[in-house]
Amino acid sequence: MKRMPISMLALLALLVLPGLALAEQPQRIAVLDWQAALMESEKVRNDMQQAERQLSNEQARVRQLAEEGRGLQERMQRDGSIMSETERRQLQQQMEQKLQEYQLTRNRLQQQQQELRQEIINRHRPALERAVNELLQQHNIDILLDRGAVAFAKPQYDLTPAVAEKLNAQE
């Protein structure tokens, strides 16, 4: 049996021992629901409410178009059998136009909502990142996981309430 030279054993020890030392130190892990932490912030909540108020006319228009479309459908169901072919065709065209207008208006509203939401998130992201970084240092966290990527975590590992509290304290 061949003997390993001492220099090889020393090299092997240098490669293996640091890994063992790291494996013995427990890693501090936490989870965070970024979106929930942001939504718990009073400033973000106020900004979201302001955005909803800003879009209230468009929301009312979407509701109105939906009601008008339902009214046309009800009329078709109720009176369709006694209408002439021309009247039915005209009503069908009105229903299709109303549906197109409804879909266009609803899609525009959804896009505006998404843009405003993203704008609000981007505006508050620096404060969120500051709060998260402060808590990571304060609690000596080594690994932070997105709450949505974790199947289960005990509440003591969830930084979401602490981040929300810190965000509200910054305001």
21-39 pLDDT, tens digit each: 555 567 899 999 999 999 9
Mean pLDDT computed over 104-111: 97
Identify whether 5 is part of a domain: no
Identify whether 11 is part of a domain: no
Identify whether 17 is part of a domain: no
Mean pLDDT computed over 153-159: 90
Tell me the pLDDT band of 62, cut-offs 50, 70 and 90: very high
Identify whether 6 is part of a domain: no
**Confidence (pTM):** 0.70
Identify whether 147 is part of a domain: yes
Task: Tell me which residue has tokens 């209230």.
Answer: 56
Domain that holds residue 29: 24-170
What local confidence, expressed as pLDDT, does residue 171 receive?
64
Calculate the average pLDDT of the chain: 88
| Domains held by the chain: number | 1
Residue 6 reports pLDDT greater than 90: no
What local confidence, expressed as pLDDT, does residue 1 receive?
46
Identify whether 125 is part of a domain: yes
Identify whether 151 is part of a domain: yes
In order, the DSSP letters of 69-130 are HHHHHHHHHHHGGGS-HHHHHHHHHHHHHHHHHHHHHHHHHHHHHHHHHHHHHHHHHHHHHH
